[in-house]
Amino acid sequence: MRFTGSIEQGALVLGQAAPGSRVALDGVPVMVGPDGRFALGFSREAGPSAELTLQEPGAQARSLRLAVVPRSWDIQRIDGLPEKQVTPDPQTQERINRENALIAKARAQSVPKALFESGFQSPAEGQISGVFGSQRILNGQPRSPHSGVDLAAPTGTPVIAAADGVVMLAEPDLFYTGQTLLIDHGLGVNTVYAHLSALLVAPGSHVVKGQEIGKVGATGRVTGAHLHWGLSVGAVKLDPMTALKLTPPSTTLP
Ligand SMILES: [Zn+2]
């Protein structure tokens, strides 16, 4: 079995097992492609160790204990947001729940093979204005950790697909994320593009790495124009920067 990527909190790690293998991470089944490839997501809170179970065809199931390298996270304070957006009223909360269900449904569907053969690239040119995992304190109230990377860029800046994939969601007006795209890259891996000012692709469209899919904007809950870029394996939110570092050489584990 081989791994590409470093096993640390918030990381996307690719694995290679014998074709026909069954894989589980901490008891949760992992999608395995026909070539034996699979993707693992280690959450912000993962560790200090994780258990990978591997059942290769014709062999006994075995279990590997993986050490998950811890990371430290920033604190990010954002003040001056409208109170309505910090503590949603019941009606808004209902809308948010509906939209979260829509996103969860889009994330739950993925083709069982890797579409990201040519790797990942940053989806926009811009300064990093927010990192993954930072704890947001909105108007003094702690909220969920930041689930992606923010790239500051003027409205209208092209947004490109980070890797080959299929558009699973193209929503014009989500409460938090405004105009939003979600792309499936196979094996459960997906990326999200939020706060856009234009959507140039529709659900079901096949996109290739580097293809323009939208424009940077300031829709949804924002304080300025930027692209929020998210990466997940299934529902596990990951640091998109870890996808950019996924280059050989890979590590072989016993
Ligand atoms: Zn963001």
Identify the pLDDT of residue 248.
47
- Compute, in angstroms, the gap from residue 239 CA to the centroid of ligand 1: 11
For residue 10, give both structure tokens: 């918030």
CA 146/CA 192 separation, integer angstroms: 13
How does pLDDT run along the chain (254 residues), one tens digit per residue? Answer: 889 999 999 999 999 999 999 999 999 999 999 999 999 999 999 999 999 999 999 999 999 999 999 999 988 788 888 887 678 899 999 999 999 999 999 999 999 999 998 899 999 999 999 999 999 888 888 888 999 999 999 999 999 999 999 999 999 999 999 999 999 999 999 999 999 999 999 999 999 999 999 999 999 989 899 999 999 999 999 999 999 988 643 445 54
Phi and psi angles of residue 172, each rounded to the nearest 5 degrees, phi first: -80, -15
- Compute, in angstroms, the gap from residue 151 CA to the centroid of ligand 1: 8
Identify the pLDDT of residue 247.
67
- Compute, in angstroms, the gap from residue 152 CA to the centroid of ligand 1: 10
| Fold of the 2-71 domain | Immunoglobulin-like (2.60.40)
Q: From 190, 127, 188, 85, select the one nearest 180 (Cα to Cα).
A: 190
CATH 2.60.40.1590 domain locations along the chain: 2-71
CA 130/CA 147 separation, integer angstroms: 10
CATH 2.70.70.10 domain locations along the chain: 75-243
- Compute, in angstroms, the gap from residue 253 CA to the centroid of ligand 1: 35
CA 127/CA 3 separation, integer angstroms: 30
- Compute, in angstroms, the gap from residue 49 CA to the centroid of ligand 1: 28
- Compute, in angstroms, the gap from residue 222 CA to the centroid of ligand 1: 8
Percent of the chain as helix, strand, coil, to the nearest 5: 10, 45, 45
Identify the pLDDT of residue 38.
96
For residue 26, give both structure tokens: 């901490």
Identify the pLDDT of residue 254.
46
CB 39 within 8 A of CB 55: no
- Compute, in angstroms, the gap from residue 5 CA to the centroid of ligand 1: 23
- Compute, in angstroms, the gap from residue 59 CA to the centroid of ligand 1: 44
**pLDDT digit string, tens, across residues 122-173:** 999 999 999 999 998 888 888 889 999 999 999 999 999 999 999 999 999 9
Phi and psi angles of residue 231, each rounded to the nearest 5 degrees, phi first: -135, 135
Identify the pLDDT of residue 144.
85
132: helix, strand or coil? coil
Identify the pLDDT of residue 94.
96
- Name, in order, each residue with C-beta under 8 angstroms of 4's C-beta and a sequence gap of 6 or more: 13, 14, 15, 16, 246, 247, 248, 250, 251
Check whether domain 75-243 has CATH 2.70.70.10, yes or no: yes
CB 207 within 8 A of CB 98: no
**pLDDT digit string, tens, across residues 36-56:** 999 999 999 999 999 999 999
For residue 155, give both structure tokens: 């409205």
For residue 103, give both structure tokens: 């996103």
- Compute, in angstroms, the gap from residue 219 CA to the centroid of ligand 1: 12
Identify the pLDDT of residue 75.
84
CA 70/CA 49 separation, integer angstroms: 10
- Compute, in angstroms, the gap from residue 102 CA to the centroid of ligand 1: 19
